[in-house]
Amino acid sequence: HDVVATGRYPYTGRLGVLSGEDENKVDEALMAVHAQELGIRNFLEISDGQRQRILLARAICQEPEVMILDEPTSYLDIRHKLELLEILRKLAKEKEITVIMSLHEIDLAQKISDKVVCVKGDRIAGFGNPEEIFTEEKMRELYGIDNGYYDPCFGSVELPRVVGKPEVFVLSSCGTGIPVYRKLQKAGIPFAAGILYPGECDYQLARLLASEIISEEPYEPISCETYRKALEMMEQCKKVINAGVKTGKMNQKAGELLKIAEERGMLI
């Protein structure tokens, strides 16, 4: 994976010999990428993640103003991806090096970039801050997504929801419904979710995966009307999953729904 640095050439003389000052520069570069122990290792005998750090150190020795990296995180596991990106972020902030990367991993690009250029075919399809670029609508247009969703909240892609009349009503809150939603989707079971508040993480995923959502206005107690809708949905489904709903003053009626489901033998 290519690393190109624009700046001075590596610290070697005509005979390719490093001076004492040059050796110090190399040591500093190895320290910057947390690779001091790799200085004496054979490049062909180390891992992909270690090789990426060595290539970065070699580029840093040139004292570049700009570094261009082509898919630097490809073939790296999660730990080494995070390690590499943290090193690059420090180089950009502490050494004021401009780092330009090509990435297909949009979740990483969303989290590390200051500016993003989107390329579609042979043209620039977008430029701006991550929050301007990584929206559901723009990602759908950029990649031509018609078989699922891009979720900007989680920075992830989602498979299409299961189409059909809800068979199960999922009661959840504070993220407890997310693993249940995914299991139902994988099993091909259409479901309804509630009673949720827009903005919470359960709602963000349910709006993509659930056939129906029963929701309440943010920061408002669950109204009688919303409670009625949820109860009707629960009775239609006849099956209820308690995903670990947590109740308080604002959503007491969710606890009432759970009690009714238990009394009527709807819980599964």
**Predicted local distance difference test score (pLDDT) of residue 203:** 95
Query: How large is the angle between the packed helices 224-237 and 252-263, nearest 10 degrees?
Result: 30
- Domain 3-102 is in which class? alpha beta
pLDDT at 169 over 90: yes
**Residue 166 binned pLDDT confidence (cut-offs 50, 70, 90):** very high
Mean pLDDT of 131-135: 92
Please report the pLDDT score of residue 151 as a whole number. Answer: 85
Question: Does the predicted TM-score (pTM) go above 0.75?
Answer: no
The stretch 226-245 carries a mean pLDDT of: 96
Alpha helix (H) residue ranges in the chain: 20-32, 48-60, 78-94, 106-112, 130-133, 136-143, 178-187, 201-209, 224-237, 252-263
The pLDDT > 90 percentage for the chain reads 50
pLDDT class for 21, splitting at 50, 70, 90? Answer: low
More confident: 243 or 19: 243
Query: For position 86, what pLDDT does the model report?
Result: 87
Domain 168-263 has CATH 3.40.50: yes
Q: Which residue(s) pair with 13 in the sheet? A: none
Q: According to the model, what pLDDT value does residue 17 have? A: 55
Q: What is the mean pLDDT of the chain?
A: 86
Q: What are phi and psi of 113, to 5 degrees?
A: -80, 145
- Domain spans of the chain, in order of start: 3-102, 168-263
Which pLDDT belongs to residue 251?
A: 92
Say whether 168-263 and 3-102 share the same fold: yes
Taking alpha carbons only, the member of 64, 50, 138 closest to residue 95 is 64
CB 112 within 8 A of CB 89: yes
Quick check: 102 pLDDT over 80? Answer: yes
